[in-house]
């Protein structure tokens, strides 16, 4: 016969008859491969813990489409946001900084699937175009307000006031940053002086630079 729990109420004091500590080790989830990453993009609801959010995402198509998911991964590899070591794919220091710098709205797992569902609704005649445009304008206005209110660190001396993103991946010969150990040292040219210097790819989290004497 299965024992039943007694009737209890909030803040009730109860006695402890026995206690036991089990020793164990938590194992980290396996690294992504290109195949498992494609599958995760398709079934993004599996990465969500919230039951309500999981239920909503389960009926959507995930991030990207069958024809675009591989291209998304390739673009992230070219830009150095993710790196491939053998068969495994991991986030680079640059990719981690980029994600950490974004508001939660842009990194939400359900963002892309929800927008794609609206686009499908337009194509099928279920969603009027003005409704989609109004929702897009509202979202962008909130993001702009968030960006204006954010306090960003000043760029290191010699760097551009408005640095531009690069599609170039970190060279394989690049040495790890001696200061933070997370980024890599790459060569840049100062627009102010025209001199070349070495800087850490983890900037702005790391401001280490090496100038030629």
Distance separating alpha carbons of residues 85 and 142, to the nearest angstrom:
38
Both 47 and 140 in a single domain? yes
Both 129 and 47 in a single domain? yes
Both 114 and 197 in a single domain? no
Tokens of 199: 């800087």
Instruction: Look at residue 128 and tell me if it is in a domain.
Output: yes
Instruction: Look at residue 24 and tell me if it is in a domain.
Output: no
Both 110 and 189 in a single domain? no
Asked whether residue 162 carries a pLDDT value surpassing 50, the answer given is no
CB 186 within 8 A of CB 199: yes
- Residue where a domain stops, chosen among 147, 166, 189: 147
Both 54 and 126 in a single domain? yes
Both 143 and 179 in a single domain? no
pLDDT given at position 207: 82
The DSSP result for 121-179, as a single string, is HHHTTSS-HHHHHHHHHHHHHHHHHHHHH--PPPPPTTS-SSPPP--PPPPTTPPBPTT
Q: For the whole model, what pTM was predicted?
A: 0.56
Both 132 and 211 in a single domain? no
Asked whether residue 15 carries a pLDDT value surpassing 90, the answer given is no
State how far the alpha carbon of 199 is from the alpha carbons of 88, 134, 170, 178, in Å.
Answer: 27, 42, 12, 11
Both 61 and 136 in a single domain? yes
Which structural domain, as residue segments, surrounds residue 205?
175-213
Instruction: Look at residue 153 and tell me if it is in a domain.
Output: no
Distance separating alpha carbons of residues 177 and 153, to the nearest angstrom:
20
- Residue where a domain stops, chosen among 147, 165, 183: 147
pLDDT given at position 165: 46
Q: How many independent structural domains does the chain possess?
A: 2
Distance separating alpha carbons of residues 145 and 60, to the nearest angstrom:
29
CB 168 within 8 A of CB 125: no
- Region 124-146 average pLDDT: 92
Instruction: Look at residue 57 and tell me if it is in a domain.
Output: yes
> What is residue 73's three-state secondary structure?
helix
Instruction: Look at residue 181 and tell me if it is in a domain.
Output: yes
Instruction: Look at residue 113 and tell me if it is in a domain.
Output: yes
Indicate the average pLDDT of the chain: 83
Name the least confident of 13-17, 105-109, 159-163, 192-196: 159-163
Both 37 and 126 in a single domain? yes
Q: CATH no. for residue 75?
A: 1.10.460.10
The DSSP result for 90-117, as a single string, is EE-HHHHHHHHHS-HHHH-TTHHHHHHH
Both 109 and 39 in a single domain? yes
Instruction: Look at residue 46 and tell me if it is in a domain.
Output: yes
């Amino acid at each position: 016969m299965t024992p039943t729990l007694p009737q209890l109420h909030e803040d009730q004091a109860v006695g402890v008859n026995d206690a036991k500590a089990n020793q164990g080790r938590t194992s980290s989830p396996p690294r992504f491969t290109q195949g498992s990453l494609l599958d995760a993009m398709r079934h993004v609801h599996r990465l969500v813990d919230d039951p309500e959010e999981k239920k909503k995402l389960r009926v959507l198509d995930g991030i990207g489409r069958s024809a675009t998911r591989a291209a998304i991964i390739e673009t992230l590899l070219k830009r150095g946001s993710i790196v491939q070591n053998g068969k495994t794919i991991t986030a680079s220091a640059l990719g981690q900084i980029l994600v950490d710098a974004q508001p939660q709205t842009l990194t939400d797992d359900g963002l892309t699937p929800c927008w794609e569902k609206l686009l499908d609704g337009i194509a099928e005649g279920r969603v009027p175009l003005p409704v989609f445009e109004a929702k897009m304008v509202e979202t962008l206005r909130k993001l702009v307000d968030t960006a204006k209110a954010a306090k960003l660190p000043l760029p290191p001396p010699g760097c551009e006031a408005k640095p531009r993103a690069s599609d170039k991946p970190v060279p394989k010969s690049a040495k790890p940053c001696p200061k933070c150990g997370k980024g890599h040292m790459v060569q840049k040219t100062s627009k102010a002086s025209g001199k070349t210097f070495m800087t850490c790819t983890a900037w702005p989290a790391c401001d280490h630079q090496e100038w030629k004497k």
